[in-house]
Structure 1
């Protein structure tokens, strides 16, 4: 019997597979201009950013840069309806400010109509061949996918494909001369493209293994010239077909721990497009190593920021936001996120979104957070703030267990105040603006204070919330 894949991302193997008390507080501008002495603000410059190298611009990213939507979650409805569901939301997403969407793996996988695509079988079957138990994929047909991509482009949204290169699934049994056993490595896709056999997996006559095996799936051998040809070198290679025929603009590479960074580098050098890798590691230095090892052809998801945000917001210690993160080391190569289809551990999500949407990095918003679980109006407000105000390098103006205040130093720039306590907070900080009226662009505070000649000003924040301040008039 062929192995099947259960619908669980964290266990995918090829075997029979959150009444807030709100206190109203206001203060006159005269009161705001008092009390500077004895209330210094601790400032810490993180870094001055440089011109981005190879960064995605998005088609209409705004001054603050692009925003990505992860346009799926684990186990979206089956039945071939997902491409049409996403297609119907693209106009609203463009209006909200999304620059790109990341789709799940689009090709036919072993689990056919039920698969989320991470068990790839035929890279060229987008829902048109009757194999693996269905014609359409879980998400729909090739025609529906092409319609989605065309709509996205008409709405000025770029489309990022989820590329699974580490492993395959769904092959037939064959005698494997490199293992002395029968293995599921005989691939005969109905698309007629990229047939595979035992020699295209590990071990083979050239190499015994690469950097990692995932869950027992047949491990694709990228060292083999035949595999390289079909993935990125040929005129009809997977990557070139996805870009030139299907219309994809960029790539999210799944499980890049499983193969060398040179694979991503080779793909991007041959095909182009934005690229981001899922290197699941909370160490910012390791993430930075991987980005550099790809020849800086790819960004990485900032798992270091993800885990520090969880410790900061859910662990009630905002000092953790002082810790190392990829966006602090390499902001134009960091894709920041609060949740995704694989992991969702942060409970105080709006504080986390206030963080990533006001800070450096390329923020990604999770579909269920935006469409189902959180306040869409608040997220839309944060996205407007990002695209219009979030410019320049970042300085931390103040931080303790409960309060975090940071400034984006460009023009127009902003000051974000995150309050993780149960009480209203206020604090004097020294900003980039002198003799300027500022306001909170979230509407959480009704203060319109003036900064002093030395740029000090008092700002406030509601309990368990955030405010974002900038010069009045934008």
Structure 2
């Protein structure tokens, strides 16, 4: 076959996407999955392993309702310390989305990498120099699938786990913010009733307050132990051990937990 159009992964044989008959077979299979089996959405695994133009072709040919790509590469580090500026990292993810014609979303690994360091007393990381969220969410929120952990980063593999004692701060962040948040199966079903119920409450608030992937956000505080923001016109939130609440009396505490709180009108 031809040379790979992306990075190599030696765990499985390479698929030669440059061959038209291969792409035709893949499209027919994806179409069958949608129209005969009943799948609606696709996740493109190891999206660095093949050119994104093929993802575009596969989506156009099979027409799923929703698609997301796993474009995962390393964040920017100075030694073992995560750098503040992750613009080049999120730009690579955005370049991949662009090359799919904007037809696919992508997992926001930039936000995950920053957030899981920020909750450890470095919440200043959550505001970029332009005053926006520092991940893909801050630049192209309608194409950013935010998450705390997945089957690779957490669970039994634990390649890059979110700190377990800060899980709910993470969910308070992604479930109140723009982007397309996703909840990890393990957290929702295996971490006990308390975590499950707190996540459900945050989801309910997101739905009832009409927060969506393009919701506006204004970051109010971003210092070591406090992050606060207003999302749209109806939601205030904070994470971190430092005390904070909205200053006027129109707001009602909608939910709270260890180092997080959300208010609504």
Q: Give the TM interval when normalised to the shorter protein.
A: 0.7 to 0.9
Q: Deviations over 1:33-63 (max 9, x none)?
A: xxxxxxxxxxxxxxxxxxxxxxxxxxxxxxx
Q: Report what 1:448 is aligned to.
A: none
Please tell me whether residue 268 in structure 1 is matched to residue 50 in structure 2.
Answer: no
Q: Is the 8 A contact 1:390 1:408 kept in 2?
A: no
Q: Shift of residue 341 of structure 1?
A: 0.1
1:305 counterpart (76, 88, 111): 111
Name the SS of the counterpart of 1:328 in structure 2.
helix
Distance 1:428 1:366, change over 3 A: closer
Q: Report what 1:328 is aligned to.
A: 138
Q: Is the 8 A contact 1:253 1:278 kept in 2?
A: yes
1:441 counterpart (254, 258, 263): 254
Q: Shift of residue 295 of structure 1?
A: 0.4
Q: Shift of residue 419 of structure 1?
A: 2.1
Q: Report what 1:467 is aligned to.
A: 261
Q: Report what 1:395 is aligned to.
A: 218
Name the SS of the counterpart of 1:440 in structure 2.
strand
Q: Report what 1:449 is aligned to.
A: none
Name the SS of the counterpart of 2:227 in structure 1.
strand
Q: Report what 1:277 is aligned to.
A: 69
Q: Is the 8 A contact 1:313 1:420 kept in 2?
A: no
Distance 1:229 1:438, change over 3 A: same
Q: Calculate the TM-score normalised by the size of structure 2.
A: 0.83
Separation of aligned partners in 1, 2:10 and 2:240? 42
Separation of aligned partners in 2, 1:437 and 1:325? 31
Separation of aligned partners in 1, 2:210 and 2:236? 9
Gaps of 5+ in 2: 76-88, 129-133, 155-160
Q: Report what 1:454 is aligned to.
A: none
Please tell me whether residue 346 in structure 1 is matched to residue 159 in structure 2.
Answer: no
Correspondences of 1:213-224 after superposition (within 5 Å): 213-224=8-19
The two structures, once aligned, show a CA RMSD in angstroms of: 1.7
Higher relative contact order (CA 8 A, sep 6+): 1
Q: Is the 8 A contact 2:67 2:105 kept in 1?
A: yes
Q: Is the 8 A contact 2:31 2:63 kept in 1?
A: no
Separation of aligned partners in 2, 1:297 and 1:369? 29
Q: Which structure: larger Rg?
A: 1
Q: Is the 8 A contact 2:4 2:49 kept in 1?
A: no
Q: Is the 8 A contact 1:301 1:334 kept in 2?
A: yes
Please tell me whether residue 258 in structure 1 is matched to residue 49 in structure 2.
Answer: yes
Q: Calculate the TM-score normalised by the size of structure 1.
A: 0.47
Q: Report what 2:198 is aligned to.
A: 378
Separation of aligned partners in 1, 2:226 and 2:179? 22
Separation of aligned partners in 1, 2:67 and 2:220? 33
Gaps of 5+ in 1: 1-203, 430-434, 445-461
Q: Report what 1:317 is aligned to.
A: 122
Length, aligned pairs only: 232
Q: Report what 1:161 is aligned to.
A: none
Distance 1:287 1:419, change over 3 A: same
Correspondences of 1:21-420 after superposition (within 5 Å): 204=1, 207-232=2-27, 237-273=28-64, 274-281=66-73, 282=75, 283-314=89-120, 316-323=121-128, 324-344=134-154, 345-347=161-163, 348-373=166-191, 375-391=195-211, 392-410=215-233, 413-420=234-241
Separation of aligned partners in 2, 1:267 and 1:470? 42
Q: Shift of residue 427 of structure 1?
A: 5.1
